[in-house]
A and B are shown apart, each in its own frame.
Chain A
Amino acid sequence: MTELSKSGAAVGEPTGTSPAPKAFLEVRDLKVHFPTDDGLVKSVDGLTFQLEKGKTLGIVGESGSGKSVTSLGIMGLHTAGQYGKRKAQISGEIWLDGTELLSADPDHVRKLRGRNMAMIFQDPLSALHPYYTIGQQIVEAYRIHHDVDKKTAKRRAVEMLDRVGIPQPDKRVDSYPHEFSGGMRQRAMIAMSLVNNPELLIADEPTTALDVTVQAQILDLIRDLQKEFGSAVIIITHDLGVVAELADDLLVMYGGRCVERGPAEKVFYEPRHPYTWGLLGSMPRLDRDQQERLIPVKGSPPSLINLPSGCAFNPRCPYADVPKDDVTRTVRPELTEVGGRHWAACHMSQEQRERIWTEEIAPKL
């Protein structure tokens, strides 16, 4: 735990249920399951991490790995909109600043939403209500948690739009979302999320729907605002390039579970899980020889209803036969420490992985 206080974000052995949250945000053994006609979809199946204020955690994984569901679970929105009988089942613990959210009164969690924890969504066009002006939507977000009149709230909205770099904010505050460009909309979305100075900001694929030129601006903005407000930030993405610049710690998800986590530079430069190698190999780089091809992760994401037995990654893993006795297909690997604050879940021995990484993978990247 001393290392934790030093670096702040992420990790710590999966702890079970000891009620001693020291971190600002602590998620313990989080499970989110959705009952469907075809069976139980285990979107998140036992996730543990910690995050301190002022730090950034990047959660990386492909579509369907459980990244977004994790963030919805933290926000208490996993059951939102699920009218009728079948609701998502959630278990584990989510401690936010000393409060356990899953056992708390839903109305209390609602009051934390937007004020203590806020979220930025992937596609700002569909995430903003088309019928209300940007100003009305920010004013609404502010007035839920602050007992002020509309004028004051609108001044605050203009101030926030100005802060996120929207030109002529006093005029643009009365614009509708469709009158903004994609980057401007995402700025407005960020202004809306930060209007109550939340201590936890979750950005779910904040740049995926944006032009490349705008992506960097938005990431810079998030970083600047984080410094200014000192919030804890979770960035969810499938793009390692996005988190490379921002994240203090990384958590790689596969099939609803964490397969590797640790300080960002460790995960980037000494990854210890074949899936992380695949992610790194799939990332185009300018410094790579143009003749060399990308090394994609073969196959498609696993079904979350019927995860492959043993290691969920084994059908796609080029090294599935390295460990003896077919153990990859029968036993699910647990997270084990592979270095300081660095965990990975793989049956291969440390030495095997170090050798494959340094001899076979790293030279090709």
Chain B
Amino acid sequence: MLAYLIRRLFAAVVMLVVIILVVFGIFFLVPKWAGVDIATSFVGKQADPASVEAVRQKLGLGDPIFVQAWEFFKAIFAGRTYSGGGDVTECAAPCFGYSFRSEQAVWPVLTERFPVTLALALGAAVLWLIFGLAAGVLSALKRGTLWDRGAMVVALAGVSLPIYFTGLLSLAVFSHSLGWINAEFVPLDESFSGWFGGMILPWITLAFLYAAMYARITRATMMEILGEDYIRTARAKGLKEQVVIRKHAMRSTLTPLLTMLGMDLGALMGGAILTETTFSLPGLGQKVLDAIQNQDLPFILGVVLITSLAVLIANLVVDVLYAVIDPRVRLA
């Protein structure tokens, strides 16, 4: 078990380094090959050659590629000093550089926005797990009945309807028409109830999509597991059906769901772009949309790295939980 953990941890660290380098490659090399000059795009198209040259020096864009890669890598762990063109800027670790547009440092903005995204994702995850699993299991046990068909139609709708539709619909109904919920975002440190009220529709909207997917997967997995030989063995022992489901079938059903949950949560850490935009939540997703629209390279880069890191950590946690659930994995 310990050897398994160490192996996984080591693999994760290696993966992280690879990701950083690949991200660097995508964002600094690809524009270069494509003939886009990063310094020019930083300064603006109408800039005079002198200030473009100053920026090029300051960002080290004239250095050989591997020097740039090393500087980029080092900045994340040790910070970086930008100098050139007469002024010096200290960027403390973890340094993701400065916005091309507003000259804000990237990292503080990310850390400020991350909690909103985290709260959105975790809250939604709790909802979708409860409702997705319950609906999936019930459908599997009552397959072919009206309940099953109804639940699966709702799930199909959940999977197919885009978030900006369900989100706007819920805003229109619950916030504007019925006036039950004040859907303005309120920071958590200002008012808990305000924050909760502002989060509830985004939670439900995001959870609806995922609950639908989870319900369908749960139903399919559960039906498959119920046909397994060891479930028949459990019944042959004289166990109550309820115990057979709870103790024997559920545990096996959880395994594939756990993998999904790890991936989904990891991916959501980079921001639920649609949900955050629909509900004007100041999370990472909204920022990344801004950054893409403005071609603000350092921000896009920062968010991509955070997302990768989150997926990595989520997968690590999933791997560990996997080993706890399935003893056969410990050998792998």
Contact = CB atoms under 8 A, between A and B. Distances in A.
Q: Do A and B come from one complex?
A: yes
Interface of A: 75, 77, 80-81, 83-86, 110-115, 118-119, 121, 123, 126-131, 133, 140-141, 144-145, 176, 178, 192
Contact of A131 (B231, B240, B326): B326
B238 A110 contact: yes
Contact of B234 (A118, A123, A126, A129): A129
Given A83-B140, A86-B144, A144 B237 contact: yes
Given A127-B229, A131-B251, A111 B238 contact: yes
A81 B231 contact: yes
B236 A119 contact: yes
Contact of B226 (A81, A85, A110): A81
Given A80-B232, A129-B230, A130-B328, A113 B238 contact: yes
Nearest to A195: B237
Which size bracket describes the interface of B in this complex? 20 to 34
A112 B238 contact: yes
A127 B239 contact: no
B252 to A, nearest CB: 7
A126 B226 contact: no
Contacts of A178: 327-328
B237 A141 contact: yes
Contacts, number: 83
Interface string B237-265: 11110000000100110000000000000
A131 B327 contact: yes
A113 B327 contact: no
A155 to B, nearest CB: 19
Given A115-B238, A121-B236, 7 more contacts: A80-B232, A83-B141, A110-B239, A110-B240, A114-B238, A114-B239, A133-B327
Given A80-B235, A84-B142, A141-B237, A121 B229 contact: yes
A127 B235 contact: no
A119 B236 CA distance: 7
A85 B141 CA distance: 11
B233 interface: yes
A145 B240 CA distance: 12
Contacts of A133: 327
A119 B235 CA distance: 10
B176 interface: no
B32 interface: no
Nearest to A176: B327
A121 B238 contact: no
A126 B143 CA distance: 24
Contacts of A140: 237, 239
- List the 9 closest pairs (A to B, CB-CB), nearest first: A114-B238, A84-B144, A113-B238, A126-B229, A84-B143, A114-B237, A129-B230, A127-B229, A141-B237
Contact of A129 (B148, B235, B248): B248
A129 B143 CA distance: 24
A232 B140 CA distance: 37
B235 A121 contact: no
A129 B226 contact: no
B151 to A, nearest CB: 13
12 contacts: A80-B232, A81-B235, A84-B145, A85-B144, A111-B238, A113-B236, A114-B236, A119-B236, A121-B236, A129-B252, A131-B326, A176-B328
